[in-house]
Amino acid sequence: MAGPRQALPSAPSSKWDIREKVWEHLEASGLAEFPRPVRGRIPNFKGASHAATRLLGLQEFRAARRVKINPDAPQRNARFLTLEARKTLLVPTPRLRTGLFNRIVPPPGATKEILRRCATSQGVRDYSVPVGLDGKAQVDLVVVGSVAVSEKGWRIGKGEGYADMEYAMMVAMGAVQEDTPVVTIVHDCQVLDIAEELMDDHDLTVDYILTPTRTIQTNCKRPKPQGIMWHKVSSEMLGKIPILKTLRCREEQAGKDVTLRDEHPALANTSRAAASNKKVMAANTQPWAAPASAPVGQPQVESDPGNPKSEGSGTVTTVYVGNLPGSLRVSELKSALRELQVIPVGLNWQGAQHRAFLHYRDQGAAHRAVASLQGLSLGGNALRAELAKSQRSKGQGEISSHK
């Protein structure tokens, strides 16, 4: 079996570069399993079921009474083994829309066949009950999915931040402790060298890596997230995760600073007229969500990039991003922008022309975006990023000058 250095010979320079190389290798080598393509997912792989059986050899698993396991396909057998061992299985709700996690409750006298069904995504829906904030849930072992992981315990997910947020929310709820072990199940080719400087303080690390051929104890000394880092949470994420709002209220009442990333003091003095304008815009188009009615191949405008006054009192500065691969989805670009912490107030997606235009409230934010995006590898393409030529005059008439 090819080792990680044979599978991924070059040294990736960013998290996205690492993800792309892992996804591409799994597909090209025939290791990828349903659901396909694995790109953009926690990838399922040949040997995932066998890798999961290594849980049975961990003393931490044998001693655990309550195990939280993510709902992705490569962890299906891990969920079954947990149920078969008569442990309490907790599974995060998809994208945390309806709470933090559900408890899987098999029917009385469930056979192995029924337990296997309970461990599938459909079974999770059919045999679960929600666990609320006041459920006093305790978690003895956490199993997460990964796109890539290093033997030192550095973990890279698919880029949306839900596993990191799930763990931070469990800390806030008191469901996990500092010594609660974290396990990930991956293919051997997903274990590779990851530079520590790519890791941020909100990134979840792992204590054990299970592959089809190895059980790796990382002995990771890097602290896990100590709770929710509100200064890294956006209003967008808060709006998508109702339970996060509840936790924020609780922590605010406890005297903690819960200022969000985009609640900069300079934005607090927005006029009522501007706020009203934003409400009108929201009625027509959701920020960060492309219109469902947009014809295929036509530009997708998010927020209101055509109105430089619509997002506040200053003129919006636009960044041109070119050389986007044809296979790239707008959601993947958004994930990269979130990860780089250069989220724009508006996005004009022109995927058919392999470009996008990002709109920022001030030039400083725009320049940070250019510096972060220039040369970034997405989908195998090195991006081009620069201030849009339309910055030299008003309006978007010059957008077409970027070919």
pLDDT, one tens digit per residue, over 246-263 is: 888 989 998 988 888 777
User: Could you check whether 4-217 and 272-283+295-401 share the same CATH topology?
Assistant: no
Secondary structure (H, E, C), 204-238: CCCCEEECCCCEEECCCCCCCCCCCCHHHCCHHHH
Tell me the average pLDDT across 41-53.
97
Task: Give the max Cα distance, the chain.
Answer: 72
Q: How many CA atoms lie within 13 A of 363 on its CB side?
A: 3
Give me the pLDDT at residue 314, please. 54
Position 45 pLDDT exceeds 70: yes
Looking at residue 66, the DSSP 8-state letter turns out to be: E
Least confident piece of the model among 29-43, 103-117, 195-209, 299-313? 299-313
Q: To the nearest whole percent, how much of the chain has pLDDT over 90?
A: 37
E-assigned strands of 282-402?
300-302, 317-322, 346-350, 355-360, 377-378, 381-382, 384-387
pLDDT at 56: 97
Task: Name the amino acid, one letter, at 114.
Answer: I
**HSE-up (13 A, CA, CB side) for residue 73:** 15
Q: Model-level pTM greater than 0.85?
A: no
Give 8 or 382, the one with higher predicted confidence: 382
Q: pLDDT value at position 205?
A: 94
Which residues lie closer than 8 Å to 376 by C-beta, 6 or more apart?
A: 14, 16, 17, 336, 340, 382, 383, 385
Residue 141 has pLDDT above 60, yes or no: yes
Higher pLDDT, 305 or 174: 174
* Per-residue pLDDT at 129: 87
Query: Residue 93's pLDDT is what?
Result: 79
Average pLDDT over residues 81-89: 96
Q: Is the pLDDT of residue 59 over 70?
A: yes
CA-closest candidate to residue 364, choices 382, 387, 384: 387
CATH architecture for the domain at 4-217:
3-Layer(aba) Sandwich (3.40)
49-53, 143-147, 200-204: lowest mean pLDDT where? Answer: 200-204
Contact call for residues 208 and 236 (beta carbons, < 8 A): no
Alpha carbon distances (Å) from 171 to 118, 202, 224, 361, 386: 27, 12, 10, 34, 40
Interval 335-361 mean pLDDT: 87
Most confident range, picked from 189-198, 319-328, 385-394: 189-198
pLDDT greater than 80 at residue 277: no
Position 152 scores a pLDDT of 95
**pLDDT exceeds 50 at position 121:** yes
What residues contact residue 270 under an 8 Å CB cut-off, 6+ apart?
Answer: 312, 313
pLDDT of residue 12: 53
Residue 279, phi then psi, degrees to nearest 5: -65, -40
Domain boundaries, the chain: 4-217, 230-263, 272-283+295-401
Task: Tell me the average pLDDT of the chain.
Answer: 80
Q: Is the pLDDT of residue 179 over 80?
A: yes
Query: Token pair of 96, please?
Result: 């945390």
Q: What angle do CA 91, 96, 102 make, to 5 degrees?
A: 30
pLDDT at 375: 74
Exposed / middle / buried, residue 56 (Cβ in 10 Å: 0-12, 13-18, 19+):
exposed
Does residue 71 register a pLDDT over 80? yes
CA 118 from centre of chain: 25
pLDDT value for 209 = 98
- Choose from 22-26, 135-139, 283-287 the range with maximum mean pLDDT: 22-26
Could you please state the CATH topology (level 3) that the domain comprising 272-283+295-401 is classified under: Alpha-Beta Plaits (3.30.70)
CA atoms within 13 A on the CB side of 7: 25
